[in-house]
Structure 1
Amino acid sequence: MLTALKVRLYPNKEQQIALAKNFGCCRFVWNHYLNKTNTQYQEIGKGLSYCDMAKDLTQLKKHEDFLWLQEASSSALQQSLRNLEAAFRNFFEHRAKFPKFKSKHKKQSVRYPAGFSIKKNGIQLPKLGIVKAVISRKISGKIKSVTVSKDSTDKYFAAMLLEIEDIPTTKEGKISGVDLGLNSLVTVFDGETIYKVEPIKPTRKYAK
């Protein structure tokens, strides 16, 4: 079973700069390949798959004009491509609207699918080190991913996706049904026998 836990982050100045680069790189990758997929779809009627985009991204990061992409976490950039592929799939399966270009003036986020761990004083993230965090409860289960976001008030948060064991349910006793009626105040059925509770005097009085 999957559940989520959101905690407040307190990155230092250097970590804030690094996060800004990660936000910007992931936003660029999303917008770049959204545009590239749209263009290819218009030309040949087929968009780019995740594998197509990932191969192209590897070459793009080596280009002298885009070397700055190497400053971001590679796993976070790849996650942006997976998110884009999922957004297109949801659109074509009529579960969501067509993917939109991301703006730097709105909420910023980056998802880390790997390379993180919980430390005593916070959360260790790729290329950031340990970011101070306020974790209110003990974390149980396996952390599948960590999404770091920055809201309009410049506050930072981390949403952790946790995989925990399903809580077993016990089925004891009989199945009961309760019905409120007119002729009888309450009718109870336990799966075998029907019990009726007759209206008490105040109930009869005010029912009239």
Structure 2
Amino acid sequence: MGRQVKRAFRYRFHPTNAQTAELSRTFGCVRLVYNRALQERTRAYRDEGRRVSYADSSAMLTEWKRTEELAFLGEVSCVPSQQAPRHLQGAFMNFWGRLAEYPTFKSKKKSRASAEYTRSGFRLRNGLRTLAKMSEPLDIAWSRPLPEGAQPSTVTVSRDAAGRWFVSLLCDDTITTLPPTDTMVGIDAGPTSLVTLSTGEKIADPRHERRHRRRLAKAQRASSRKAKGSRNREKARRMVALARAISDAAWRQMRGMLEYKTAWYGRNLIVVDRWYPSSKLCSACGRQAAAMPLSVRARTCTCCGTTHDRDANAARNLLAAGLAES
């Protein structure tokens, strides 16, 4: 049995010089509209106690285009700019639902450069995608086929920090539900790997692993010089905080994928309370340690004498807790 889902298919593409210039201008306009709308929503609530809705932000965009200062917004495709208030609304919905922090302004250097085109903003020509305001189709590297007869509802173009270009096509797809199985696994998120399974397998986050190694090397060099002073200590604390933020972001992304993919394939995902002491419990006898500093990567239970890898032990405890809740 299959189910219809929305699924994004992402590909590399190589823009022409003209397309690069057009898309760069579009990215700038999308960022400007998002930041202006955020600024106005923040000001209205702070000064007037008034909430600005998505419809209000869209109306503001229409007015901005009529001003001399922002008339250039009409020189690029209007479709991506029109999506910026919708994306901002989504950010506020996550904030109100306590799923994210208060929305922040998009930075030219740090924020993801992207633009979303809805159905009116792109055309299909022999399988190639031509975006609004462009005469030539995108040179896409089709690394995998789209579902047969797929008609994308949105096309999102982005450029990463390394200057690589990507196009993501959101299509309807049919997912086949897998047959029932008795296989179960516990998953623990940790600082040294993205996740550890109750089987003992560890899955590293390549991005986090490379950054972690670079920061660890810097920290080692700094400590070998026996650096002293508040400035150096503060720098070290910032590095640790940043590494943890990267790890948390990667785990949130993976959890989101687990949530929708288990639903796709007819599997159950049980999320255990974040305060459950999975690292402190011995998965062999159940004895709980009084403390378990993050620096302790392996432990020997003082009750039964079993030696555990910290993360694999936590994953086994999470599996047991999930089974108790199911």
Query: What TM-score bracket applies, with the shorter chain setting the length?
Result: 0.7 to 0.9
1:27 correspondence with 2:36: no
Q: Give 1 or 2: higher helix fraction.
A: 2
TM-score by length of 1: 0.77
Partner of 1:110: 115
Q: Deviations over 1:182-201 (max 9, x none)?
A: xxxxxxxxxxxxxxxxxxxx
For 1:43 and 1:161, the matched residues in 2 are separated by: 39
Q: Deviations over 1:68-127 (max 9, x none)?
A: 100222121111110001101110111111111011112311111222244347321111
TM-score by length of 2: 0.50
1:120-131 aligned within 5 A: 120=126, 122-129=128-135, 130-131=137-138
How many angstroms does 1:177 deviate by? 6.3
Does structure 2 conserve the Cα–Cα contact (< 8 Å) formed by 1:121 and 1:133? Answer: no
**Structure 1 residues 75-84 or 103-112, which shifts more?**
103-112
**Alignment root-mean-square deviation, CA:** 2.1
For 2:142 and 2:175, the matched residues in 1 are separated by: 23
1:76 correspondence with 2:80: yes
| Selected match of 2:169 from 123, 148, 160 | 160
How many angstroms does 1:128 deviate by? 2.1
For 1:127 and 1:110, the matched residues in 2 are separated by: 13
Partner of 1:45: 49
Partner SS, residue 164 of structure 1? strand
Partner SS, residue 104 of structure 2? coil
Q: Deviations over 1:111-170 (max 9, x none)?
A: 112222443473211112312111123212331211111111211101111112343x48
Letter in 2 for 1:154: G
Letter in 1 for 2:171: L
Structure with larger RCO (C-alpha < 8 A, sep 6+): 1
1:119 correspondence with 2:119: no
Partner of 1:138: 145
Q: Which runs of 5 or more residues in structure 2 are unaligned?
A: 184-326
Q: Determine what percentage of the aligned residue pairs are the same residue.
A: 32
Does structure 2 conserve the Cα–Cα contact (< 8 Å) formed by 1:142 and 1:164? Answer: no
Task: Specify the structure having the higher radius of gyration (Cα).
Answer: 1
How many angstroms does 1:65 deviate by? 1.1
Q: Which runs of 4+ in 1 moved over 6 A?
A: 175-178
1:9 correspondence with 2:13: yes
**Structure 1 residues 20-29 or 157-166, which shifts more?**
157-166
Letter in 1 for 2:128: G
Partner of 1:200: none
Q: Which runs of 5 or more residues in structure 1 are unaligned?
A: 179-208
How many angstroms does 1:18 deviate by? 0.3
